[in-house]
Structure 1
Amino acid sequence: MKIERLPPVRTSLGHTNHPYMTGAWTPQHEEVNAWDLKVLEGAIPTDIDGVYLRNTENPVHAPLGRYHPFDGDGMVHQIEFRDGQATYRNRFIRTRGFEAEQEAGESLWGGLADGPGTSKRPGFGAHGSLKDTGSTDIVVHGGEAIATFYQCGEAYRLDPLTLENLGVAAWAPLDGVSAHPKVDEATGELLFFNYSKHAPYMHYGVVDASGKRTTYQAIDLPGPRLPHDMAFTKNYSILNDLPVFWDQNLLERDIHAVRLHKGVPSRFGIVPRHGGPVQWFEAAPTYVLHWLNAYEDGDEIVLDGYFQENPTPRPLEDAPDGHGHLMAYLDEHSFRPKLHRWRFNLKTGETTEGHLDERILEFGMFNQQYAGKPYRYAYSTTAKPGWFLFNGFVKHDLETGESWSIQLPEGRYASEAPFAPRVGAVDEDDGYLVSFIIDENQGTSECVLVDAKRFEVVCRIALPHKLSSGTHSVWAGRDLLKPLP
């Protein structure tokens, strides 16, 4: 393996025993380019062509208060496949906050778990006092990678091949862009939403294939909410107003405490793709971090996602150093997400819903060529009890109800694994899942390719250093890497 190391960034982070700054969440500060990667098992297929991008949280400076893993500075890790070869590189996302703290040599903003007055400077996003790290999500649109922040940020652009930082997206509105904008490969459009603490509390937007914002519509809500994701079909986008949001009385004192508002239903807003009247549907109360896919079926909209049975769990009693509340809200086995299907009848206004699986599952992926359309196969992750760490994958055949599983050995943790269609594929599941693995037993990381049809690992590739864990990822085939005209 050949490695080129970039000059180090400025850091003030010292020793810590924080559970989300150690182990698989140990920050990675080294930026490299690497090629001639060593293949540990199998062979790199010649029919995979494109890039896998994974966003991670890597705090560079000592926190001002109580660290939450979503506070960490964004770093994108990339592996590119072409002609049976693979190269790797990683870069920090140079947000305004990152650059300001590099200049200051210290943290300037408090985090998600901190109280009012912690930050030294005004902050960003819906919360109002956080640093926009761009560390949550990543998509590829118009040949550019777009990194976004979970509480709404500026949308930072990177070259998906070189990871060169390209600055803020010109189409991003004043209230920012939430994590989980959606790219429709069929039209080249990017669909997004944002939310805030001022009326109308939410907006919905569309950016066309050339990078021009063509739709930006207010979505009136009863008050501040905390949506995290959206979905779309061929003709509609699906937004949500769920009953887990900030306590209004505490919010008036600038305290951002999330609670379940009992007696308040879940609400789903169906809006025409390019804007128009919103049709609202009610459903069982829950919180949903991530949707899977949605499509139109006659008069109905079908929506799949991960229904939380216990969205505001009690603190974990055996958590280290008083981190019980933090760790419970990151532990899927505490908030219990289940693969779930909602059906909204556009004529009658009725909602029907139910679980598709009783296992704890989240972070679902599918073949993006079927986004917004009827689809058959879904790929979810399983999690280590007590931790925000992925320890396996589950494939669902949504037509037959069959499923298949891959369980990682103890001490090996995966990343979100998007579907990469095989070059020349003719079947929906003809391709690979791509994932980065952190091996705590060996202190290393690798990339794995899973044959999605047979559902087994077919290739393992060594990476030049151990990664930190993180949140979201994306696969972009070669045809999606072309720059905007």
Structure 2
Amino acid sequence: MGGKALNDLNPYLHGLYGPVKDEVTADDLPVIGEIPRALHGAYFRNGPNPAEPPKGMHHWFDGDGMIHGIWFENGRARYRNRYVQTQDLKANGASTMPGIFEPSRDAPGRKVHYRDTANTDVIVHNGKLLALWYISGQPIAVDIETLDTVGVENFGGKLPRNISAHSKTDPVTGELVFFDYALYEPKMWTGTVSAEGALTQFQEIDLPGPRLPHDMGMTENYVILHDLPVIFSDSAIRNRLWQIHVADQPTRFGVVPRKGGDAKWFEFPTCYVYHVINSWEEDEEVVMAACKMVPNGLKPDPKYGPYAAMADVLALRAQPFLWRMNMKTGEGREQQIDDALSEFPVINNDYAGRKARYSYHVVFDDCIEQRFSGLMKYDLQTGKSERHDFPQGVFGSEPAFASRIGASEEDDGWLVTFTADMDGNSEAHVIDARNFSAPPVAKVQLPCRVPAGFHGIWAQGV
């Protein structure tokens, strides 16, 4: 089967997920409703967008990174999208690095084994955006006003290795707290970069074997590393997967001082965690809230042919949990927050690493494809939740919380998210966080479709 015919069966190259061809700039966008004057800043969202039609088996995660941004000021909005100019993208098809359905290769000097697309996460640090990759790659600095790529950020040449997606920025100190891992080595690394861009701490953590973590926790004084029972596997790739679960191993979380020191490990029942909600310190405990994966209850769909297994793995189903780790007694406790399914959690990032009351999650459409049909607001103190549904046939992105200018309370602001429908139309929705189930206060009409993608961030006042 040729590449084109093969990829006609790939659901993540068509419809909501199909790439957009052009880089677009548009000012003074049309609005349904009214953009609040106290909404001032920008929402950015990263995701995969293949610059060239794939020639062989293509995993959704392989698409070249493209950041979509919308800036709000004085009741108006402007939009632009730009490719993240990674080393592999700039090779104009000449890159020798494989996608994740192919055997891995070494990349001398880069410490990656696959095409590094910087397509997964986007965070704000030192006045710039950093585009990050989920298998831990080179962080790419992006101009926060234009989305033009600045280049690889190696912090004055001091970065020893790579940085993984879901590294964190501390809202109080401005520090970047990061982690790194390797596909073949039984090690993980963590470090800190100052608000001004200087590497101030870096250390290696030994593991029982290679692991495939996706996120980390951060508190005022600690990082929480994930030793999860999932590993990379060449044999799994031959079965159109790229990871395997090792069910007889416990899940372990390692609490490591941010200033350096030994990890204190806590064991919990076997599970996998993609995304952390938030982490904080509470008396003698370090607490992490995250979305714990549960069986999706779906069966691979034969209509996707060789992509059926990929679609099954991408059908994320998770529930919110708390893990409490007592630093004095060594006791660990797991507590379920809710039995509803949700994922891609965000908070008001002014509270990152501190105890926050509210989190906001996406709700999945009831199908095997990764479609977000609504949002959920959780009260982490009471466990109560409130739901915001997108219109029928409209699907959203991971949102970001945007504080009202001058806000003094945690949920005084809006959720901003991109949406897309099956007809190729996209909008940015502005949702009142305190009137969450109500229709958006503003729907900003975008000049092009925003393909379904991964993670977003709010930058206040830019």
Short-chain TM bin: over 0.9
2:313 counterpart SS class: helix
**Partners of 1:281 and 1:402 in 2: CA distance:** 28
Question: Equivalent residue for 1:245?
Answer: 231
Q: Could you tell me whether the CA contact under 8 Å between 1:225 and 1:241 is conserved in 2?
A: yes
Counting only pairs closer than 5 Å after superposition, residues 284-303 of structure 1 correspond to structure 2 as: 284-303=269-288
1:228 counterpart SS class: coil
Question: Equivalent residue for 1:27?
Answer: 19
Q: Could you tell me whether the CA contact under 8 Å between 1:199 and 1:220 is conserved in 2?
A: no
Equivalent position amino acid for 2:131 in 1? A
Partner residue of 1:393 out of 375, 383, 390: 375
Question: Equivalent residue for 1:364?
Answer: 345
**Partners of 1:148 and 1:58 in 2: CA distance:** 15
Question: Equivalent residue for 1:464?
Answer: 447
Equivalent position amino acid for 1:226 in 2? L
Question: Equivalent residue for 2:48?
Answer: 57
Shift in Å, 1:61? 2.0
Q: Given the two structures, how large is their TM-score scaled by the length of structure 1?
A: 0.88
Equivalent position amino acid for 2:258 in 1? R
Is 2:76 the counterpart of 1:93?
no
Is 2:147 the counterpart of 1:166?
no
Moved over 4 A (4+): 12-15, 121-126
Give per-residue Cα distances to partners, 1:96-145, cap 9 Å, x unaligned: 1001025x4xx7443122345xx7x958977x431111000000101000
Question: Equivalent residue for 1:176?
Answer: 162
Partner residue of 2:361 out of 374, 377, 380: 380
Partner residue of 1:213 out of 193, 199, 222: 199
**Partners of 2:159 and 2:194 in 1: CA distance:** 15
Give per-residue Cα distances to partners, 1:341-386, cap 9 Å, x unaligned: 1100111111111211111110001111111111111111111221
CA spacing shift, 1:375–1:122, aligned 2, 3 Å: closer
Counting only pairs closer than 5 Å after superposition, residues 285-324 of structure 1 correspond to structure 2 as: 285-310=270-295, 316-324=300-308
Q: Could you tell me whether the CA contact under 8 Å between 1:429 and 1:452 is conserved in 2?
A: yes
Q: How many percent identity over aligned positions? A: 39
Counting only pairs closer than 5 Å after superposition, residues 249-268 of structure 1 correspond to structure 2 as: 250=235, 257-268=242-253
Shift in Å, 1:64? 4.1
**Partners of 1:354 and 1:387 in 2: CA distance:** 29
Give per-residue Cα distances to partners, 1:57-111, cap 9 Å, x unaligned: 1112232431111100000100001111111111001101001025x4xx74431
Q: Could you tell me whether the CA contact under 8 Å between 2:183 and 2:232 is conserved in 1?
A: no
1:20 counterpart SS class: helix
**Partners of 2:144 and 2:4 in 1: CA distance:** 29
Give per-residue Cα distances to partners, 1:442-464, cap 9 Å, x unaligned: 32111000000111311101000
Q: Could you tell me whether the CA contact under 8 Å between 1:65 and 1:111 is conserved in 2?
A: no
Q: Which runs of 5+ in 2 are unaligned?
A: none
Partner residue of 1:80 out of 54, 61, 71: 71
**Partners of 1:362 and 1:124 in 2: CA distance:** 35
Task: Report the aligned-residue RMSD.
Answer: 2.4
Counting only pairs closer than 5 Å after superposition, residues 97-246 of structure 1 correspond to structure 2 as: 97-101=88-92, 104=94, 108-115=96-103, 122=107, 128-171=112-155, 173-197=159-183, 199=185, 201-246=187-232
Q: Could you tell me whether the CA contact under 8 Å between 2:9 and 2:303 is conserved in 1?
A: no
Question: Equivalent residue for 1:407?
Answer: 389
Partner residue of 1:36 out of 28, 45, 56: 28
Shift in Å, 1:246? 2.6
Q: Could you tell me whether the CA contact under 8 Å between 2:241 and 2:310 is conserved in 1?
A: no
**Partners of 1:287 and 1:125 in 2: CA distance:** 28
Q: Could you tell me whether the CA contact under 8 Å between 2:364 and 2:370 is conserved in 1?
A: yes
**Partners of 1:300 and 1:56 in 2: CA distance:** 35
Give per-residue Cα distances to partners, 1:194-239, cap 9 Å, x unaligned: 1114545210010000001111100111121111111111111111
Q: Could you tell me whether the CA contact under 8 Å between 1:305 and 1:339 is conserved in 2?
A: yes
Q: Could you tell me whether the CA contact under 8 Å between 1:149 and 1:155 is conserved in 2?
A: yes
Q: Given the two structures, how large is their TM-score scaled by the length of structure 2?
A: 0.93
Question: Equivalent residue for 1:282?
Answer: 267
CA spacing shift, 1:224–1:373, aligned 2, 3 Å: same
**Partners of 1:257 and 1:415 in 2: CA distance:** 25
**Partners of 1:210 and 1:429 in 2: CA distance:** 29
Q: Could you tell me whether the CA contact under 8 Å between 1:64 and 1:110 is conserved in 2?
A: no
**Partners of 2:417 and 2:73 in 1: CA distance:** 17
2:289 counterpart SS class: strand
**Partners of 2:327 and 2:431 in 1: CA distance:** 39
1:326 counterpart SS class: helix
1:296 counterpart SS class: strand
Aligned length: 453
**Partners of 1:125 and 1:309 in 2: CA distance:** 35
Question: Equivalent residue for 2:37?
Answer: 46
